[in-house]
Amino acid sequence: EGVFAGVPKVSAAVFAAGEKLLWDVSAGQFDDSAATPATGDVMGAAIAWVAGLNTETTCTIKLTPGNSTVT
């Protein structure tokens, strides 16, 4: 649990602060909640601490253990 900055993000992902994020296992990056999860992806293990904008390659997240689902 904690807040981490400089975490890899899908550059096209756009999200608001507080939004649940998807960990894209194959890309090794966080994506927005509208992304379609693939096998092994994890939803809800982190939320956006700061809004993520298009073209950004890193983001700031807060880990939320115990709130995730694996596809």
Query: In terms of pTM, does the model score above 0.85?
Result: yes
Residues 17-54 have pLDDT tens digits of 999 999 999 999 999 999 999 999 999 899 999 999 99
Cβ contact 50:60 at 8 Å: yes
pLDDT at position 25, please?
A: 96
pLDDT at position 54, please?
A: 96
State whether residue 7 is helix, strand or coil: strand
Q: What letter represents residue 66's amino acid?
A: G
Cβ contact 17:51 at 8 Å: yes
Between residues 31 and 1, the one the model is more confident about = 31
Biggest CA–CA distance in the chain, Å, is 30
pLDDT at position 2, please?
A: 87
- Quick one: tokens of 57? 């390659």
